[in-house]
Amino acid sequence: MKKSLPIIFLAPTILLLGCATDISQNGSCESKCESISNMCSEVLPYEQCKGECDACDPAIMDEINDEEDCEKIKEKMSQCALVSEEGSSDCDAACNNYNNQCLTLVPNANQQLFDQGYESCMSECAGWSGEKVQCMSTAQDCPSMTEVCGL
């Protein structure tokens, strides 16, 4: 019993450390967008910056950090929006494949179930790696999605 006690105390600590990492990453977008919108509010308002920053590749954000020209910052932020839209279409393909391969197996499935499954998949897909999205898009059947793609 004494050997398992440290594991019980370590698990919540590890979980809390994971949360702290997420908070600091979100905070970095918020702080970057605060400074960008203070400098370039007429070209790139805070809310627009925040939406694009959340979807942005960290390498692009690093380039933006070094930039002082508002027009160039806006141009680089627009690259983030394009990446986000491309990811969205990839998620669309993955979630349509999920509906076709998995939800069609549900007896008496109706359009409402397909719509709910698609919406749920799209919200989950936003957090998937590109590799997982690709795997889900091309999986040949539902078991592959769970066993190979990690659904």
Q: What is the pLDDT of residue 79?
A: 66
φ, ψ dihedrals at 143, nearest 5°:
-60, -35
In a domain, 13, yes or no: no
Averaged pLDDT for residues 21-26: 32
pTM: 0.44
- Between CA 29 and CA 52 the distance in angstroms is 9
- Confirm whether 61 is domain-assigned: yes
Question: What is the residue range of 117's domain?
Answer: 30-147
What DSSP state is assigned to residue 140?
A: S
Percentage above 70 pLDDT, the chain: 70
Neighbours of 100 (CB within 10 A): 14
Contact 84, 57 (CB under 8 A): no
- Give the count of domains, the chain: 1
Spell out the residues 6+ positions from residue 124 whose beta carbon is closer than 8 angstroms to its own: none
- Spatial distance between the Cα atoms of 33 and 4, rounded to a whole number of angstroms: 45
Mapping DSSP to helix (H, G, I), strand (E, B) and coil, where does residue 19 land? helix
Asked if residue 106 lies in contact with residue 113, where contact means CB atoms within 8 angstroms, the answer is yes
- Is residue 1 predicted with pLDDT exceeding 50? no
Establish if 34 belongs to a structural domain: yes
| Residue 132 belongs to a domain | yes
Does a structural domain hold residue 39? yes
pLDDT band at 16 (very low <50, low <70, confident <90, very high): very low
pLDDT in tens, 47-62: 777 767 766 766 777 7
In-domain check, residue 74: yes
Instruction: Say yes or no to pLDDT of 114 above 80.
Output: yes
Does residue 98 sit within a domain?
yes
